A = this chain, B = another copy of it.
Amino acid sequence: MGHGTNRVEDMASPNNGTTAPATANARETIVEIHSVCLPPKKTAFQKLKKRFGDVFFPDDPLERFRNQTWRNRVILCLQSLFPIFTWGSQYDLKLLRSDVVSGLTIASLAIPQGISYAKLANLPPIVDSSFVPPLIYSVLGSSKHLAVGPVSIASLVMGSMLSESVSPTQDSILYLKLAFTSTFFAGLFQASLGLLRLGFVIDFLSKPTLIGFTAGAAVIVSLQQLKGLLGIVHFTGKMQFIPVMSSVFSHRSEWSWETILMGLGFLAILLTTRHISMRKPKLFWISAASPLASVVISTLLVFLIRNKTHAISFSEIEKTKTEEMKSLMQIGHLPKGLNPPSSNMLYFSGTHLALAIKTGIITGILSLTEGIAVGRTFASLKNYQVNGNKEMMAIGFMNMAGSCTSCYVTTGSFSRSAVNYNAGAKTAVSNIVMASAVLVTLLFLMPLFYYTPNLILAAIILTAVIGLIDYQAAYKLWKVDKFDFFTCMCSFFGVLLVSVPLGLAIAVGVSVLKILLHVTRPNTLEFGNIQGTQIYQSVKRYREASRIPGFLILAVESPIYFANSTYLQERILRWTREEEARIKENNGSTLKCIILDMTAVSSIDTNGIEALFELRRRLEKQSLQLVLVNPVGSVMEKLHKSKIIESLGLSGLYLTVGEAVADLSSTWKAHGQP
């Protein structure tokens, strides 16, 4: 065992080689051993409390209330319930000026966007959601830059899910009721997630899932716009790729070349302005103003053409507009004006309740994901905190209130917030300004929108959703992580070919499967010592790491659970067989000890402990010793409780691999073993 003993000395000596060689012999058997501690004792209740705190209160919301007077606590409490109290007292004219400018800017975007997105959700344009929700958010929300409004994904999902069961044109009142009811459930779901502090649920929508999902949804929406852009009158009610494409090509006789020309023209203008703003962020106002400008120009154009001559080319525009207006008129009990009360239209029974709840939950979670992500993005740009659970409650209450005032699902919109941020918004007051501007417009200027052609709304929607297809992100996924790319593709094709909720479910399932697969088949690595140090590293990865005769050092890179305990046990035994075969081939010294480095074993359950017991028993039959190194706190505790530490014996547990090797080698030497 001469080699082994030299190594002990190697490890004990410093790396710089200044030690006098005379002391080397004296040091050979001196090995300082640190014992492995149990974590501080805690009762089951304390542990549960800590675990509970970690899961539900990772942000430690009560931290700021500590060491405060009662008066301060009340103020802090009010501030945390209504963030407006935090910044309200310091609000001044300078801030107001910035907020007015940015508020007016987003209002000019909000009106055409509101009408387009309502159309996306198959709702009449009067259902504009840019008034009540922003007001509520400005009181409850903790983000300063979030601009609230309907978003394309949620509108699209609501439109596609509801219209598969109920026709928005034939059953318009039922459809409207369903839309408000699902908005209510979306809000209820969001607020409950926040109240129950279950915010981590949205973390299960991983980035790859969302990239694929958004791209798939964007393609679906774009295809729907072909109706407006091509001037097709008879269009399929389905949303999937194949039926829509077949519908487009089977109605080729309905294609109207004038509509196509005008639509493509506006599309080109909108895309160009968007491109300019992306290249030069200072010119953001060009892309912010262009939708409104396009709407105004195209409305005027249609008005003029119509006054001059009843051109055939626009007949279908007229027709659909008239149909839409008629369906609006049919809703007799929906009073005119902005945001009339609609709580009487919510219903909590009937055959379509399940659909409304399902739609509510899916649109709720999607809009929440976008809202939280957008809020976090802009907060991190200005270095302030956005509280996830509080945001959820704000968005949830805003939707519940919205559902009672003729609004459908709203959230923090990425496009509006970006414009808001660029326009210099300072506080949530910009939302109030926007809401007021929208109010005025819709109250007094709404009749002017009568002549707005469908094609311009289609062009605005297309411009918005094309930007959502992030092929560069998908390419990056491919380069960095093939499995993430696979998840992304599942989500994309699932949404495109199957259905929106199923596509999402498939992608989440695949993501969870990845976690399970990683846990089921964890890595085990063989470690070796890096010459002249105490460092032990993978022999495959570090060429300077060399095996130590007599030892097989294995690192397990995963918690040991029921799902992998049998596998790990068999894998470690296979490592042993392979190592013994290798030794036989090279005539090395016999294997005597298996060291398991448990540093990366972050958790263990009773199956894992049993597997360790079994492993020890089976290794002992082959006269091999099993040694555990550096189990983490929770693992150590369970090993202790299950008495496996006692069964391993005194030399069965070390703090570092180096100490284990040194101590065992010197023991063997003392007992005169080779």
Q: Give A residues with C-beta under 8 Å from B.
A: 12-16, 18-20, 23, 26-27, 30, 32, 34, 37-40, 44, 48, 51, 54-55, 58-60, 200, 203-209, 380, 383, 388, 476-477, 479-484, 511-512, 514-523, 525, 530, 533-535, 537-538, 540-543, 557-559, 561-567, 570-571, 574, 599-603, 605-607, 609-610, 614, 617-618, 621, 632-634, 638, 641-642, 655-656
Contact A14 to B19, CB < 8 A, known contacts A541-B633, A607-B206:
yes
Q: Are B521 and A606 in contact (CB under 8 A)?
A: no
Complex contacts, A380 vs chain B, CB 8 Å: 614, 617-618
Number of copies: 2
Residue among B32, B512, B574, B602 making CB contact with A59, cutoff 8 Å:
B574
9 contacts between A and B (CB under 8 A): A16-B32, A18-B23, A38-B541, A55-B520, A207-B606, A380-B618, A480-B642, A514-B605, A518-B559
Q: Are A60 and B605 in contact (CB under 8 A)?
A: no
Give Cα distance in the complex from A617 to B617, angstroms.
Answer: 50
Complex contacts, A203 vs chain B, CB 8 Å: 520, 562-567
Residue of B nearest to A603 (CB): B518
Residue of B nearest to A538 (CB): B633
Q: Are B609 and A480 in contact (CB under 8 A)?
A: yes
Q: Are B614 and A44 in contact (CB under 8 A)?
A: no
Residue of B nearest to A478 (CB): B44
Taking the nearest CB of chain B, how far is it from the CB of A634, in angstroms?
A: 7
Residue among B19, B519, B541 making CB contact with A39, cutoff 8 Å:
B541
Residue among B483, B517, B602, B621 making CB contact with A523, cutoff 8 Å:
B602
Give Cα distance in the complex from A455 to B521, angstroms.
Answer: 49
Q: Are A204 and B18 in contact (CB under 8 A)?
A: no
Taking the nearest CB of chain B, how far is it from the CB of A33, in angstroms?
A: 10
Residue of B nearest to A35 (CB): B542
Instruction: Supply 16 further A-B pairs (C-beta < 8 A) apart from A203-B567, A523-B632, A538-B633.
Output: A18-B19, A37-B542, A37-B543, A38-B541, A40-B540, A207-B562, A388-B566, A479-B641, A480-B609, A511-B563, A512-B512, A514-B605, A518-B602, A523-B634, A535-B655, A558-B602
Residue of B nearest to A545 (CB): B37
Give Cα distance in the complex from A416 to B44, angstroms.
Answer: 41
Taking the nearest CB of chain B, how far is it from the CB of A524, in angstroms?
A: 10
Give Cα distance in the complex from A483 to B607, angstroms.
Answer: 12
Complex contacts, A54 vs chain B, CB 8 Å: 521
Give Cα distance in the complex from A192 to B39, angstroms.
Answer: 46
Taking the nearest CB of chain B, how far is it from the CB of A266, in angstroms?
A: 36
Complex contacts, A23 vs chain B, CB 8 Å: 18
Taking the nearest CB of chain B, how far is it from the CB of A298, in angstroms?
A: 40
Taking the nearest CB of chain B, how far is it from the CB of A479, in angstroms?
A: 6
Taking the nearest CB of chain B, how far is it from the CB of A211, in angstroms?
A: 9
Residue among B14, B39, B561, B633 making CB contact with A13, cutoff 8 Å:
B14
Taking the nearest CB of chain B, how far is it from the CB of A467, in angstroms?
A: 20
Complex contacts, A38 vs chain B, CB 8 Å: 541
Q: Are A55 and B655 in contact (CB under 8 A)?
A: no
Give Cα distance in the complex from A517 to B204, angstroms.
Answer: 11
Q: Are A541 and B602 in contact (CB under 8 A)?
A: no
Contact A200 to B521, CB < 8 A, known contacts A207-B610, A557-B632, A642-B480:
yes
Give Cα distance in the complex from A563 to B514, angstroms.
Answer: 11
Q: Are B16 and A27 in contact (CB under 8 A)?
A: yes
Give Cα distance in the complex from A314 to B156, angstroms.
Answer: 71
Q: Are B605 and A483 in contact (CB under 8 A)?
A: yes
Give Cα distance in the complex from A15 to B530, angstroms.
Answer: 19
Q: Are A19 and B19 in contact (CB under 8 A)?
A: yes
Residue of B nearest to A518 (CB): B603
Taking the nearest CB of chain B, how far is it from the CB of A380, in angstroms?
A: 6
Q: Are B605 and A484 in contact (CB under 8 A)?
A: yes
Complex contacts, A59 vs chain B, CB 8 Å: 570, 574
Residue of B nearest to A621 (CB): B383
Complex contacts, A18 vs chain B, CB 8 Å: 19, 23, 26-27
Complex contacts, A518 vs chain B, CB 8 Å: 559, 602-603
Q: Are B14 and A520 in contact (CB under 8 A)?
A: no
Complex contacts, A60 vs chain B, CB 8 Å: 574
